Chain A
Amino acid sequence: SQQGEEDPQALSIQEGENATMNCSYKTSINNLQWYRQNSGRGLVHLILIRSNEREKHSGRLRVTLDTSKKSSSLLITASRAADTASYFCATDAGGNDMRFGAGTRLTVKP
């Protein structure tokens, strides 16, 4: 069963614009992670945010976490065509297994 739900399912923007993806989850967590998947490839870890953190940055990525609303957002600033991929959030649901959402398919047009 999948723990998280990403929103929107698909997002299309122009190069240089910012992209925001949201993730909602159902149960309490210890940490939440975001992954990227290029077509036909495996998933690549982007960033991990712990339940006691509210915001985290990594390069052009900014992740926020609101445990009271059970939601997280991933912001990609100044997007590039190479950012075109599917983005997934994953949570541990308080245990040791990472459960993934259905993902947001991001298309960045040059």
Chain B
Amino acid sequence: EAGVVQSPRYKIIEKKQPVAFWCNPISGHNTLYWYLQNLGQGPELLIRYENEEAVDDSQLPKDRFSAERLKGVDSTLKIQPAELGDSAVYLCASSADTFPGELFFGEGSRLTVL
């Protein structure tokens, strides 16, 4: 069974440029999470989807970040425009349960903003 797939693995952009990250969760997993991880820190939740509905986006900086999960399967996280402080790893995870069970993580997308 394929795991959570994320792309791109690495992205280097100049500040003020847009960037998008894509995530394909494990088949059948209804819950999808986007986390941000700074160097030496734990993941911080950005947004959680139940199917195609964003049920918790309180930590998503909505002035420059947006996310969507069309058809309740794969998801895209966008930053526009990117700032220097956005340099981090963006992790996607999925879960089979609506109640927190085991989270399956992708390898992450490492963003460097110059």
- Report which A residues bind B (CB closer than 8 A): 1-2, 4, 30-31, 33, 35, 41-45, 48, 88, 90, 92, 96-103
Contact = CB atoms under 8 A, between A and B. Distances in A.
Contacts of A100: 35, 42-44
Nearest to A105: B40
A45 B103 CA distance: 7
A88 B41 CA distance: 10
Contacts of B43: 43, 88, 100
Contacts of B99: 30, 96
Contact of A41 (B55, B103, B107): B107
A97 B42 contact: no
Interface size class of B (residues with CB under 8 A): 20 to 34
B105 interface: yes
Contact of A31 (B40, B48, B93, B100): B100
A89 B104 CA distance: 15
Interface string B89-102: 00101000011111
A4 B106 CA distance: 22
Interface string B23-39: 00000000001010000
B56 interface: yes
Top 4 nearest A-B pairs by Cβ distance?
A42-B105, A100-B42, A92-B100, A43-B105
Contact of A103 (B42, B98, B101): B42
Given A2-B44, A43-B91, A48 B102 contact: yes
B1 to A, nearest CB: 15
Contacts of A48: 101-102
B100 A43 contact: no
Given A43-B43, A43-B91, A88-B42, A96 B103 contact: no
B107 A2 contact: no
A98 B42 contact: no
